Copies of this chain bind each other. A is one copy, B any other.
Amino acid sequence: MSTESKVQSCEPTKRRGRPVGAGIDPAKRQKIMEGAHRVFHDFGFDTASMQQIAQTAGVSKGTLYVYFANKEDLFEALVDSQRELMFGDLKKVAETAPTLEQGLLDYGMLFTRKVLSDNGITAQRVLLGVVDRQPELGLQFYERGPARGHKLLQTLLDRFNKLEACDIADTGLAAYQFAELCLAQNYRQRLFGWQPEATSEDDISKVVNAAVSLFMKAYAFVRPETGIKTATE
């Protein structure tokens, strides 16, 4: 969210004609979103109050409605920016990996760190609490977030498939599998609050390494020197 002020600035609100020429000052918009993040984080969507968001952001309640049509709008903008933060820089990793193993490792570490981060977990939690009532929000988040990440990973696998570094029949499924292996143990523990603190870098590293190892063992050609390759499926 910190790097993001003009993204929404031109979506002129949806409900009623009120704030048509809304959202002039990007800095104020930013301030509001920071306050909102904090409050949504601490209280969840329903329990967060616009009053408190206004206070936390240091603006008046009325100003909130100048920049955002309503509570949901504000929340949506927040989800957008969070998502961007989480999946933004996976792209270059996926596209520049020199070897499959290295690519998986780098991608896995980056991805896992983001998904398990405090902000990431909280955002997902709050979002999930709203998804039943605001399905579009979940859809949008998933499509622009996890789905995009998945595509990148699949592309990576396709690339090395072509390079004959591995032999994966269903790169789509394989990509999901790898992602899930990276989150093993920690994702649901974090989500449900069983791990209250952010997962340590060491733990992440351990799991990601195990994921890469298991994945390579199952899908990659091994021991090129023996000339014998082991394909999957």
**Chain A contacts to B: CB under 8 angstroms:** 1-5, 7-8, 10-12, 16-17, 31, 33-35, 37-39, 41-47, 49, 51-52, 55-58, 78, 81-82, 85, 119, 122, 124-133, 135, 138-139, 141-143, 146-147, 170, 172-173, 176-177, 179-181, 183-185, 187-189, 191-194, 196, 206-207, 210-211, 213-214, 217-219, 232-233
Knowing A16-B51, A58-B7, say if A1 contacts B37 (CB, 8 Å). Answer: yes
Chain B residues near A42 (CB-CB < 8 A): 10-12, 132-133
Residues of B within 8 A of A207 (CB): 173
Contacting residues, chain B, for A44 (C-beta < 8 A): 46, 129-130, 132-133
Q: Note all chain B residues with C-beta closer than 8 A to A179.
A: 184
| Most interface-central of A31, A125, A193 (chain B CB within 10 A) | A193
Contacts of A219 in B (CB 8 A): 214
Inter-chain CA distance A143–B195, complex, in Å, is 11
Are A173 and B177 in contact (CB-based, < 8 A)? no
Inter-subunit contact B184/A8 (CB<8 Å): no
The CA-CA distance from A233 to B201 in the complex, in Å, is: 21
